[in-house]
Amino acid sequence: MASTVDWTALRAAAVRAAALAYCPYSNLRVGAAALCDDGRTVVGCNVENGSFGLTLCAECTMAGQLRLTGGGRFVAVACRSAAGELLMPCGRCRQLLQELGGPDCLVDTPRGVLPMREVLPDAFEF
């Protein structure tokens, strides 16, 4: 599946989403983009909050878009800053990607494209 993912387009979609972030506290604009199992792309951006623990990560808003636009599963995910820098999902978001994409979901990482089973080994499962 890695060969069928247009990583250039997915990364560009994440950068465009990052430009829309609401981040008055950290000034770190984060965007996430995912290819879904039906071929569509969903995106998300971070939305900060004065109560920092309630801040929404880009992957969280992207998960909401997945559900709001028809559901399905994530196939491949890229996270970027507004400047195009690669950013890794935090632990909470890795669990979210695991649940909505599964162990075969591909993630763009500093070590290259890896499946979630390598990004989050021994993931929590019910």
Q: Any idea which residues carry the catalytic annotation?
A: 59
Spatial distance between the Cα atoms of 82 and 103, rounded to a whole number of angstroms: 28
Residues whose CB falls within 8 Å of the CB of residue 35, separated by 6 or more in sequence, listed in order: 5, 6, 10, 41, 74, 75, 76, 77
